[in-house]
A and B are shown apart, each in its own frame.
Chain A
Amino acid sequence: MKKRTEMTVETVQEVALDTIEMKLNHPYISTAAQPGQFLHVLAEGHTLRRPISIASIDREYGTITILFKVMGSGTKNLAAMKPGMEVNVVGPSGNGFTVQETPARTALLVGGGIGVPPLYGLAEELQRKGIGVKSILGFQSRAHVFYKEKFERIGTTYMVTDDGTLGHHGLVTDILDKAGRFDHYYSCGPIPMLKAVREQLRGHPGFLSLEERMGCGTGACLACVVRAETESGYQKICTDGPVFDADEVIL
Chain B
Amino acid sequence: MTDLTVKLPGMTLTNPVMPASGCFGFGREYSAFYDLNQLGAVIMKAATGNARFGNDTPRVAETASGMLNAIGLQNPGVQRIITEEVPYLAGYDVPIIANVAGSTIAEYEKVAEAFNHTSSVNALELNISCPNVKEGGIQFGADPDMAASVTEKVKAVSGLPVYVKLSPNTADIVTIARSVEQAGADGLSMINTLTGMQMQLSRQRPLLANETGGLSGPAIKPVAIRMIYAVKKHVSLPIIGMGGICTAEDVLEFLLAGASAVAVGTANFTNPYVCPEIIKQLPRVLERYGFDSAAEAIGRGHDE
Contacts and interface: CB of A to CB of B under 8 A. Distances in A.
Interface of A: 1-2, 4, 42, 46-49, 74, 90, 212-227, 232-234, 239
B273 A4 contact: yes
B273 to A, nearest CB: 6
B58 A212 contact: yes
- By secondary structure, the A interface counts as loop
Nearest to B57: A212
Given A2-B32, A225-B74, A217 B53 contact: no
B96 to A, nearest CB: 16
B271 A223 contact: no
B25 to A, nearest CB: 4
Interface stretch (B65-73, B162-170, B175-183, B290-298): B65-73
Interface stretch (B101-109, B184-192, B252-260, B262-270): B262-270
Interface residues on B, range: 35 or more
Given A4-B272, A47-B63, A219-B25, 11 more contacts: A47-B67, A47-B270, A48-B269, A214-B60, A216-B269, A218-B30, A221-B25, A222-B45, A225-B59, A226-B57, A234-B74
B29 interface: yes
B159 interface: no
Interface in B13-43: 22-25, 28-30, 32-33
A5 to B, nearest CB: 11
B53 A233 contact: yes
A8 to B, nearest CB: 20
A239 B57 CA distance: 16
A215 B58 contact: no
B24, B30, B60, B271 — most chain A CB neighbours (10 Å):
B60
Given A46-B62, A212-B58, A225-B74, A220 B270 contact: no
